[in-house]
Structure 1
Amino acid sequence: MRRAIRAIAATALLAAGSITAFVVAGPAQADTQICEQFGSTTIGGRYVVMNNRWGTSAQQCINVTSTGFGITSQQGTGNTSGAPVSYPAVYYGCHYTNCSPGTVLPMRVSDISSARSSINYTFVSGATYDAAYDIWLDPTPKTDGVNQMEIMIWFNRQGSIQPIGSPVGNTTIGGRNWQVWQGSNGSNNVISYVAPSPLASWDFSVLDFISDVRSRGAITSSWYLTSIQAGFEPWIGGAGLAVNSFSASVNGGGGGGTTPPTTPPTTPPTSTPTTPPAGGASCSVGYSTDTWSNGFVANVTVTNTGSSALNGWTLGFTLPSEQAVTNSWNATLSGSSGALTARNLAWNGGVPAGGSTSFGFQGTYSGSFAAPSAFTLNGSACTRA
């Protein structure tokens, strides 16, 4: 599966800081229809259901029930060699600052005594999609933006699509056989477990998959589980696909992890960003992207290569023509196309010597895709990492 940012959010829910397009409805009682691009609601007083149409401008609608949701309309068309058009899903935990009611996530993996989940799907024929179960982890108790590790469990796939990366072997988890794929989508690392035949329902231990990923050296026990999600990634069609029921429970042990961490806060501070100091800075910039037919996600890492700490930063760069930003996270962006500036938020303005900070944004483009040719930090030119 290809994706840049879910729920931008993403992120993104396709984001880490804020996503102005995110629409949150009240708790679902009777069936609720959501057609807003990033519309969401809660069910059972415990889970969040999100429409999360991040990769297309075409309509997608979901009907939310008391136990799950179904796709009633999906008009987008994705490139089967690229990313899907959306990720409608139900989840427990935190996703781009939107946390499910009463969740204990994020929780450090070493503090988790048990984590179980169950799912029941309805599949359809004639569409191109995967039934994707996501487990998200990060080195920090992150509640805002893209996590560094995504575990995907493909319960079903239809059409000429494949997971991110390449196959690295097979394994047995929960008494079932899985083909394992490993790679990166440019925003985060992904390890996918593909069922050899459609699996419409299952009750299983989430920790079994986390343990397998840890054994591959991709995470450690000090990482945090941030969310458990189940839904679909449609490329073409998808009306009739449904998560009939979903449940997830995570329990702490050893006296730790039974309540959400207090730092960083669930919602990043919204006070006025720190004013960057006068004068230049020594810096390098890493710019990685994930693209699909008419959109992209960019992740920018700014490293302070100077000998003194930064107390506030402003990064300047120019997007190539025919590119435009639709949303961003971890920074305040001025402008949406052409010459842009990204400015720190109140909570990430300090960057020590040798340290780095990162932010990202989602956008659209036409024609050939290219990265900005130059970056300046507080007025001084940066090298490319």
Structure 2
Amino acid sequence: MASPLRTPLRTPLRSLPRTRAVLLALLLLAGALTALTATAQTARADERICDQYGSTTIQGKYVVQNNRWGTSATQCIDVTGTGFRLAQADGSVPTDGAPKSYPSVFYGCHYTNCSPGTNLPMQVSSIGSAPSSISYTYVDNAVYNASYDIWLDPTPKKDGVNRTEIMIWLNRVGPIQPIGSRVGTANVGGRSWEVWTGSNGSNDVISFIAPSAVRSMSFDVMDFVDETVARGMAQRSWYMTSVQAGFEPWQNGAGLAVDSFSASVNAGSGGGDGGGDDGGPGGEPGACEVTYTTNSWSNGFTADVGVRNTGSTAISGWEMSFALPAGQSVTNAWNATLSSSGGTVTARPVEHNRNIEPGGTQSFGFQGTHSGGTPGEPTRFTLNGTVCTVK
């Protein structure tokens, strides 16, 4: 559409009376501003993707993908600055089979499509923490799950199917169930989950199913990776290739949305050769043990953390990371400086407890709030990138 400033005038401006000329100039300026405003609004509007495997990037570090792989019916997503919304989700597939698509946002690499600046694939043994958070909008007139997809492989794979898929179902609506069969329950990241394992014919799958809908969550992805390794479905010498979050719809799905998403992977100080982690300055692989003691009341609690050096060399300077269960936050601390990001807490020593001699212990503590009931405890602590034994 032509700009109003470029539209020819039937009467030269100089031939009009001064008042009319000024008025017309103001009208033209208003039209120009309107056009500029409309252009700016268009630039800020959601990007709609209807291509089967169409994708785009948001925040300069995540990829949003339409990923309609199980149906020929139309599916479109509206991409926002922080996530996406399913604008159209036609068609349906049988609920006893695979879903029709997986519209999602991810960090890492998926079929050669890597998010900008990602440090994935990364060897599991080299990962100190992998904080992530999600916020969902759900609908009732559809059959779907809301899930994370975390991919692990023996090689640093950027294309094709990985060996093991970790799924975290935060919600499921309709007569659908995970791949395989239920093998029990597990407490991971401060929550209780049903655990299912099986194979889809291409890769192994372990699924963690929330007993009721979870609309938002902040957690450390490594809590679920550690549980997967403990169950023999992956190894610490393998690689994490991507962290994804979105929906698997079987029927309909319009209106479902990922309102916000964040993910990052923080390397420990290990060498990543599959032989274990480096315990940091003066440390050695696996040379730490943690005790975690709490005292709680209605909506608050205190925690005392003991860090023991079980290795044969001194640790000079340390950094401990752990993920607090959902609903908990730190208000103050002693004998350490604490910071939080995406649900992961990082503790750094003060001057008098920065060194831990072989067989020695240093301690710190903090006060926090919780959402009620008995506060859960972190299940995974890393010291300078090394996963510690929890006593």
Bin of the TM-score, shorter chain as denominator length: 0.5 to 0.7
Which residue matches 1:82?
Answer: 97
Q: Which amino acid counterpart does residue 94 of structure 2 have in structure 1?
A: N
Which residue matches 2:128?
Answer: 113
Query: CA shift at 1:30, angstroms?
Result: 3.8
1:97 is the counterpart of 2:119? no
What TM-score, normalized to structure 1?
A: 0.59
Q: How far apart, in 2, do the equivalents of 1:196 and 1:112 lie? A: 29
Q: How far apart, in 1, do the equivalents of 2:253 and 2:195 lie? A: 25
Contact 1:114 1:205 in 2 (8 A): yes
Q: Describe the SS at the equivalent of 1:210.
A: helix
Which residue matches 1:131?
Answer: 146
The equivalences for 1:300-339 within 5 A come to none
User: Are residues 106 and 29 of structure 1, via their aligned partners in 2, closer, same or farther at CA, if it must alter by over 3 Å?
Assistant: farther
User: Are residues 36 and 208 of structure 1, via their aligned partners in 2, closer, same or farther at CA, if it must alter by over 3 Å?
Assistant: same
The equivalences for 1:237-316 within 5 A come to 237-256=252-271
The equivalences for 1:72-221 within 5 A come to 72-221=87-236
Contact 2:67 2:101 in 1 (8 A): yes
Q: How far apart, in 1, do the equivalents of 2:44 and 2:108 lie? A: 21
Contact 1:138 1:226 in 2 (8 A): yes
The RMSD of aligned alpha carbons is 1.1
Q: Which amino acid counterpart does residue 36 of structure 1 have in structure 2?
A: D
Q: How far apart, in 1, do the equivalents of 2:267 and 2:45 lie? A: 33
Contact 1:214 1:221 in 2 (8 A): yes
Q: How far apart, in 1, do the equivalents of 2:115 and 2:182 lie? A: 33
Q: Which amino acid counterpart does residue 148 of structure 2 have in structure 1?
A: Y
Instruction: Report the identity percentage.
Output: 67
**In structure 2, which of residues 50, 65, 74 is the aligned counterpart of residue 35 of structure 1?**
50
Query: CA shift at 1:62, angstroms?
Result: 0.3
Q: Describe the SS at the equivalent of 1:207.
A: helix
Q: Which amino acid counterpart does residue 31 of structure 1 have in structure 2?
A: D
Q: How far apart, in 2, do the equivalents of 1:253 and 1:176 lie? A: 25
Q: How far apart, in 2, do the equivalents of 1:225 and 1:216 lie? A: 17
Q: How far apart, in 2, do the equivalents of 1:248 and 1:68 lie? A: 12
Alignment deviations for residues 260-299 of structure 1 (CA, whole Å, 9 cap, x no partner): xxxxxxxxxxxxxxxxxxxxxxxxxxxxxxxxxxxxxxxx
Query: CA shift at 1:29, angstroms?
Result: 5.8
Contact 2:125 2:270 in 1 (8 A): no
Q: How far apart, in 2, do the equivalents of 1:210 and 1:130 lie? A: 21
Q: Describe the SS at the equivalent of 1:125.
A: coil
Alignment deviations for residues 46-102 of structure 1 (CA, whole Å, 9 cap, x no partner): 000000000110000000000000001000211100011000000000000000000
Q: Describe the SS at the equivalent of 2:236.
A: coil
Alignment deviations for residues 228-267 of structure 1 (CA, whole Å, 9 cap, x no partner): 000000000100000000000101112546xxxxxxxxxx
Q: How far apart, in 2, do the equivalents of 1:106 and 1:217 lie? A: 20
Q: How far apart, in 2, do the equivalents of 1:100 and 1:71 lie? A: 21
Q: How far apart, in 2, do the equivalents of 1:29 and 1:35 lie? A: 19
* Structure 1, gaps ≥5 residues long: 1-27, 258-385
Contact 1:29 1:43 in 2 (8 A): no
Larger Rg: 2
Contact 1:30 1:66 in 2 (8 A): no
* Structure 2, gaps ≥5 residues long: 1-42, 273-391
Alignment deviations for residues 154-183 of structure 1 (CA, whole Å, 9 cap, x no partner): 000000000000000001011100000000
Q: How far apart, in 2, do the equivalents of 1:245 and 1:230 lie? A: 10
User: Which 4+ residue blocks in structure 1 deviate beyond 6 angstroms?
Assistant: none
Higher helix share: 2
User: Are residues 61 and 220 of structure 1, via their aligned partners in 2, closer, same or farther at CA, if it must alter by over 3 Å?
Assistant: same
Q: Describe the SS at the equivalent of 1:93.
A: strand
Aligned length: 230
Which residue matches 2:246?
Answer: 231
Q: How far apart, in 1, do the equivalents of 2:44 and 2:239 lie? A: 32
Q: Describe the SS at the equivalent of 1:85.
A: coil
What TM-score, normalized to structure 2?
A: 0.58
Q: Which amino acid counterpart does residue 199 of structure 2 have in structure 1?
A: S
Alignment deviations for residues 98-153 of structure 1 (CA, whole Å, 9 cap, x no partner): 00000000000000011110000000002100001111000000001100100000
